[in-house]
Amino acid sequence: MSGPGTLLLTGATGFVGRPLAAALAARGWRVVGTTSRADPPAVAGVAAWELVDLTDAAASRALVARTRPDALVHGAWTTTPGRFWSDPANLRWLEAGVALVDAFGAAGGRRAVGLGTCAEYATGDPSLDEATTLLRPATPYGAAKAALFHAGTAAALAHGVSFAWARLFTPYGPGEPPGKLIGSVARALAAGERVATTEGTQDRDFLYVDDVAEAVAALLESGVEGPVNVGSGEAVRLRDLIARVAALAGGADSIDLGARPRPPHDPDRLVASIARLSEEVGFRPAVSLDEGLARTVVAIRDETRRARTPNEEARP
């Protein structure tokens, strides 16, 4: 599908939502963002804001009736650090997502993309594939996202909406929310603190957040339907990643590997098969892991410097 037109973007103030708004606007879409705040922050690419409680089904239907969007990208979800994996609010957001896709289809919307997660998958496969890997989520967060994939597909079929589901693996970059690995390590080292980590034997798939945004924008316009993994397709051992961040942040001797236990439901390997993304959507990442890590550490170092008091800034 090609734009431009009016696009409703939920989660526009989030970590992925911000660069996604800019990527969509650059492709010619008039982006209408949703917010729960009366004073939303400035987000490049958002042409207009709608103040709405998306967990209120009636409010979602009224939102769609007001904005009459041609396309929908639904990224809003509960993201409370340390809680979202098991937060009961996941169920409210599941209901909200179903109501939103249903309202969008009933109002004549044409194309919708939902943001899912690799946590929907059963683990154990060397590469997680949309067609062959089972969905067997181990957390309420993953289960609610998987349920929305199925329910959103049903709603889209009922209304003749073209529907795709972007399963995000591990986005990273400047502005990471609290609790994300790369940002947490870089911020602690920038503050001169020691960092306690797990043994770091897990393999993960990292994709720079601007590339994640471009991938979702490309998926929207491609017309490809169903689940599509959004990742790099490359496995990175966490202990190696931590070492690279520490070297960039100047704290290679300040990492205590193995000082923290692994959290529950923490699989050994989460790496995407990206055949659909590369071959059907035609997306290729623009930012390498080394470049992305360097950008992230520089941004966090600048953020830490700005947060210091004038007296602290003057110290040698």
> Quick one: three-class SS letters along 221-265?
HHCCCEEEEECCCCCEEHHHHHHHHHHHHCCCCCEECCCCCCCCC
Q: What is the mean pLDDT of residues 49-72?
A: 95
Q: What is the mean pLDDT of residues 164-173?
A: 98
Instruction: Specify whether the CB–CB gap between 74 and 115 falls below 8 A.
Output: yes
Q: What is the mean pLDDT of residues 39-67?
A: 94
Residue 4: predicted pLDDT = 86
Q: Does pLDDT of 316 surpass 60?
A: no
CATH code matching the domain that covers 6-172+206-230, chosen among 3.40.50.720, 3.90.226.10, 3.65.10.10, 3.40.50.300: 3.40.50.720
The residues of the chain that CATH labels 3.40.50.720 are 6-172+206-230
Report the DSSP pairing between strands 46-51 and 236-237.
Answer: unpaired
Instruction: Give the span between the Cα atoms of 61 and 261, in whole angstroms.
Output: 44
Q: What is the mean pLDDT of the chain?
A: 94
Q: What is the mean pLDDT of residues 191-200?
A: 94
DSSP class of residue 90 equals: H
* CA proximity to 20, closest of 215, 206, 208: 215
Q: What is the pTM of this model?
A: 0.94
Look up tokens 């993994």; give the residue.
229
Q: What is the mean pLDDT of residues 158-166?
A: 98
CATH code matching the domain that covers 181-203+234-269+287-314, chosen among 3.40.50.300, 1.10.150.240, 3.90.25.10, 1.10.1370.30: 3.90.25.10
Which residue spans within the chain are E strands per DSSP?
6-10, 30-35, 46-51, 71-74, 111-117, 162-168, 170-172, 195-196, 203-204, 206-208, 226-230, 236-237, 255-256, 269-270
Instruction: Specify whether the CB–CB gap between 203 and 235 falls below 8 A.
Output: yes
49-54 LR contacts (CB < 8 Å, sep 24+): 50/8, 54/10, 54/93, 54/96, 54/100
268 vs 81 pLDDT, higher one = 268
The residues of the chain that CATH labels 3.90.25.10 are 181-203+234-269+287-314
Instruction: Specify whether the CB–CB gap between 183 and 296 falls below 8 A.
Output: yes
- 159 SS3 class: helix
Instruction: Specify whether the CB–CB gap between 295 and 248 falls below 8 A.
Output: no
Question: Over the stretch 97-148, which tens digit does the pLDDT of each residue have?
Answer: 999 999 999 999 999 999 999 999 999 999 999 999 999 999 999 999 999 9
Most confident stretch, 75-79, 264-268, 281-285 = 281-285
H/E element, 95:
helix 89-106
Across the strands, what pairs with 256?
Answer: 196
